[in-house]
Structure 1
Amino acid sequence: MGQPRAVVIGAGIGGLTAAAGLHRGGWSVTVLERAASLEPVGAGIALAPNAHRALDVIGAGDEVRAMSFWQGEGGLRLPSGRWLSRATSAAAVERYGGPVVVAHRAAVAGLLAARLPEGALRTAAPAALADPGVPGTPGAPGRPARVTTPAGDLEAELVVAADGIHSAVRRALFPGHPEPRYAGFTAWRVVVPPLEEPFQPHETWGRGTLWGTVPLHDGRVYAYATAAVPPGEKAPDNEKAELLRRFGDWHHPVPAVLAAAEPGVVLRHDVYAAAAPLPAHHRGRVALLGDAAHPMTPNLGQGGCQAIEDAVVLSLLASPDGDVAAALAAYTDQRLARTTDVVRRSGQIGRLTTWSSRPAFALRTALFAAVGLFGPRLALRGLDGIADWRPPHGTYAAGAQEAESTRVAQN
């Protein structure tokens, strides 16, 4: 028998991490990506210390840490500019063992793709699950999974479905399970050139609206915004004009970001989250990960982080010469409860952002101001039990443990 085969459907951050981890573990990996390239435009990604430690397992953690730019204060504000609470990068390092890094998705995708062998990644390659396969048992080989592509079918001992929020693989594995539901708000994202005037990273909450601005390590600026609107709405002219109408009179640097944004590079997507947890994150020889398994709102910055966790845990459990059925059962056991909790917690914060009445806005402002009185450590508590995660005991590479011990000592 040749080298065991793994097919990854989707080359987002989770899919690429899974492919890199499986390749490192001895699998023959093929990644199938529908898009023509790995160049997401206008999108940043927040990677908290839990994601850094997961990426340490595949040797990419320090490359992500090197993208950290936030060195001072930031926090939560009102549209007028008033600060409600502040946090510091030092407090984040102290509490969670590292900073929250905001990077451009293309940069993260590039460093992950560089860990794959030549020819493993196929772009412009839509794929569909034809047969989830049956894992073997002692004395019985089972049958491989089968994936259909325009270039022909592929068989594999393991399929990883990382095909996003509206995953076709999830629907095929769990027909009748509730589809992700609209979270009550839409989101905009944009990356602009460096700004002339300095600013502190912030997230600003208005009445049913939110804006965040964060510097990237290369000097560019990533901004995101949300608004509580009916699903499916689009701007009558362009999305930059819509942002100007909603946020143009907010505090610095919001007007400067909007002035620097080209209309054609502003992305807009309605936000969806899981309506109910899946019964499992696997079926047959197929594992679901990231948004395909547990779509969540972006309010904790954990969508990409949880996909990375999924990918690393799966690659650690799924030995190419091991029991696939046992590995996938263990994967569900380790990931289902955790990701369900993160989806719930993120959704709770997402619902707070949709409060738009004057009394609700005043109450929320008073609550946040009270939290801010207790300093940056309390302001960071929303990530407790999330950002402090480490890969499963006994699987965290010795080199990664040594590197982490060195960083803690230096800090």
Structure 2
Amino acid sequence: MSRAAEPREPRAVVVGGGIGGLTTALALRRSGWRVTVLERAASLEPVGSGIGLAPNAQRALDVLGLGDGVRELAAWQGGAGLRTPNGRWLVRTTSDATARRFGGALVLLHRATLVDLLVGALPGDCLRTGAAARLADAGGPDRPAVVTTADGDDLEADLVVGADGINSAVRATLFPEHPGPVYTGFTAWRLIVPAPRRPLEPHETWGRGGLWGTQPLKDGRVYAYATALVPPGGRAPDDERAELTRRFAAWHDPIPEIVAAARPEDVLRNDVWHMATPLPAHHRGRVALVGDAAHAMAPTLGQGGNQAIEDGVVLGHHARPADDLFAGLAAYSAARVPRTTAVVRRAARTARLNHLSNGVLLAARDTALRALSLLGPHLITRGFASIADWHPPTDPYAAGTDAGAHPRTPARR
């Protein structure tokens, strides 16, 4: 008498091992999937830059039991604000006011720290690096999806997740008619250097056609970023540190000191692209998209990585292996497309505001910001509150269980 075949464990394949892909892998494992993450890079070494996590992303990480770990490793943003290139403050906020308005504190950490935390929560055999992959078949009700690796493996999966970034090949396969990302009009520089000799307050400085941001990290270093309106594809004739010197050396302290502390190799430059035209859905067949593959956005709200983290937790909530996958993927798209489209558009509007180059408009903008600040900082932050007050659709781990996650983002530290 033959034995009945063992039921096959539902399998998910995640293409891309960045923050969105790793978060999604953890969320899917929590929902009961056997997950394989395929990352084309030989190792997971994120670029040398920071990432700010607003309360919305922290709540999503609480679902995975990692929120407390992130908050322990991160710098908690205290007072912050907006300045002009001559150093005048336009807007100042306190940590208490920010926490009350957003439902929690904003935190900042190195991207590598967050990636290490996510990787450490996954089983060792879950992640395959040096594994370039392409979507060969999106699958359907009567057939699995198929992912083909560069070394010739065909991986059948009940669910595939495209987490392969702004130039996503998975997205192009699913939606070949979509125009894809377009240039925002500005490029961005990022660097991490030792902190200046004197204490500094986190801030952004808005000038003509660009901005500068300075954010302290917990380890004593400083994460800084800058943007400028330039044609796409440009590069400095010498090196990017020299370019920052030309553009920002006359701005207020400590900006010149931060630029001077950088080595040329410390400065990263990337043109900024975004999905001006939203996708009709974030899924097709048995395939879902997360992060920049689905909704690349300008960094002007600091929400790119935050929205990718939200994606992973929401997908894990709706796409449960014991339930109707196609209904779950439809629910995922219904939850994420309107929200991420709104965030992409708001980030684009903010980018237009902080990249003004007309002198009259610049003066009007700064006057309006100063007036709103005098009336109350909450008027400035009201728009962001609708982003940061998001809550996941599933309960976080209770305090004292799993990774010791706290059931909510604390209001202060």
Same fold at TM > 0.5: yes
1:123 counterpart = 2:129: yes
1:398 CA displacement:
5.7
Q: For the residues of structure 2 that align with 1:368 and 1:227, how far apart are their CA atoms?
A: 21
Task: Identify the residue that residue 205 of structure 1 maps to in structure 2.
Answer: 206
- The 1:380/1:182 distance shift into structure 2, 3 A limit, reads same
**Distance apart, 1:405 and its partner CA:** 5.8
1:18 aligns with 2:18: no
Change (3 A) 1:400 1:10: farther
Structure-2 change in CA distance of 1:225 and 1:275 (3 Å) = same
Q: What SS is found at the alignment partner of 1:380?
A: helix
Which amino acid is the alignment partner of residue 146 of structure 2? R
1:301-340 equivalent positions in 2, closer than 5 A? 301-340=302-341
The separation in 1 between residues aligned to 2:375 and 2:117, in whole angstroms, is 39
Question: How far off its partner does 1:115 sit?
Answer: 1.1
Structure 2 match to 1:109:
115
Task: Identify the residue that residue 139 of structure 1 maps to in structure 2.
Answer: none
Q: Is the 8 A contact 1:244 1:258 kept in 2?
A: yes
Give the aligned partner of residue 148 of structure 2.
148
Once residues 361 and 370 of structure 2 are traced to their aligned partners in structure 1, the CA distance between those partners, rounded to angstroms, is 14
Does the aligned pair in 2 maintain the 1:161–1:287 contact within 8 Å?
Answer: yes
What is the match of residue 395 of structure 2? 396
1:400 Cα deviation after fit? 6.4
Kindly indicate whether the alpha-carbon contact (under 8 Å) linking 2:62 and 2:408 is maintained by their aligned counterparts in 1.
no
Counterpart AA for 1:28: R
Cα contact 1:86–1:375 (8 A) shared by 2: no
Question: Does the 8 Å CA contact 1:87/1:379 hold for their aligned counterparts?
Answer: no
Alignment of 1:157-306 (within 5 A): 157-306=158-307
* Alpha-carbon contact 2:84-2:205 (below 8 Å) kept: yes
Task: Flag the 1:336–1:400 CA change in 2: closer, same or farther, 3 A.
Answer: farther
Alignment of 1:46-57 (within 5 A): 46-57=52-63
Q: C-alpha displacement at 1:71, in angstroms?
A: 5.1
Partner SS for 1:346 = helix
* Deviation, structure 1 residue 64: 1.6
Corresponding residue number in structure 1 for 2:51: 45
SS in 2 for 1:66: helix
Deviation (angstroms), 1:72: 3.2
**Structure 1 counterpart of 2:83, from 64, 73, 77:** 77
- Which amino acid letter does the alignment assign opposite residue 230 of structure 2? V
Once residues 114 and 251 of structure 1 are traced to their aligned partners in structure 2, the CA distance between those partners, rounded to angstroms, is: 41
Provide Cα deviations, 1:222-275, integer angstroms capped at 9, x if missing partner: 000000111111111111100000001111111111111110121111111112
Within the alignment, does 1:98 sit opposite 2:104 as a pair?
A: yes
Residue 2 of structure 1 corresponds to: 8
Aligned to 2:380: 379
The one-character-per-residue Cα deviations of 1:275-326 (angstroms, maximum 9, x if unpaired) are: 2111110000000011100111001111011111110000111112221111
Q: Contact (CA 8 Å) 2:205, 2:213: kept in 1 or not?
A: yes
Give the stretch that moved more between structures: 66-75 or 154-163: 66-75
Contact 1:48 1:100 in 2 (8 A): yes
Give the counterpart letter for 1:13 in structure 2. Answer: I
Call closer, same or farther: CA 1:55–1:327 in 2, change over 3 Å: same
3-state SS of 2:200 partner: coil
Q: How many residues align?
A: 402
Stretch of structure 1 that moved more, 290-299 or 249-258: 249-258
Aligned-partner Cα distance in 2 for 1:396–1:383:
23
The C-alpha deviation readout for 1:133-190, integer Å capped at 9, x for no partner, is: 11x3xxxxx1111111123121110001011111111111011111111111000111
- Please say which of residues 357-366 and 74-83 is displaced more in the overlay: 357-366
Provide, for residues 49-72 of structure 1, a one-character-per-residue CA deviation record: whole Å limited to 9, x for no partner.
000001111001111222342453
Q: Which residue of 2 aligns with 1:348?
A: 349
CA-based RMSD of the aligned residues comes to 1.7
**The residue matched to 1:16 in structure 2 has which SS?**
helix
1:335-367, Cα deviation, whole Å (9 max, x unpaired): 111111011111100111221121121111111
Given that residues 60 and 391 in structure 2 are in contact (C-alpha distance below 8 angstroms), is that contact kept between their aligned partners in structure 1?
Answer: yes
Would you say the 8 A contact 1:67–1:101 is kept in 2? no
Deviation at 1:374, TM superposition (A): 2.4
Letter in 1 for 2:148: T
1:56 touches 1:400 (CA, 8 Å); kept in 2?
A: no
Deviation at 1:403, TM superposition (A): 3.2
* 1:22 partner letter: L
Partner of 2:4: none
> 5+ residue gaps in structure 1?
137-141
Q: What is the alpha-carbon distance in structure 2 between the residues aligned to residue 312 and residue 278 of structure 1?
A: 20
TM-score (structure 1 length as normaliser): 0.94
Corresponding letter in the other structure for 1:193: P
For residues 231 and 309 of structure 2, what CA distance do their matches in structure 1 show?
31
Change (3 A) 1:406 1:265: closer
After superposition, the C-alpha distances for 1:19-68 in whole angstroms (9 at most, x for unaligned) are 11111222111111111222223211111000000111100111122234
Q: 2:66 matched to 1:60?
A: yes
Q: Tell me, yes or no, if the aligned pair for 1:184 and 1:354 is still in contact at 8 Å.
A: no
For residues 398 and 13 of structure 1, do their structure 2 counterparts lie closer, same or farther at Cα, with a shift above 3 Å needed? closer
Normalising by structure 2, we get a TM-score of 0.94
Contact 1:45 1:304 (8 Å CA) reproduced = yes
**Structure 2: tracts of 5 or more residues without a match:** 1-6
Partners of 1:36 and 1:375 in 2: CA distance: 50
Distance in 2 of aligned mates of 1:72 and 1:17: 27
What secondary structure sits across from 2:75 in the alignment? coil
Q: Is the 8 A contact 2:67 2:406 kept in 1?
A: no
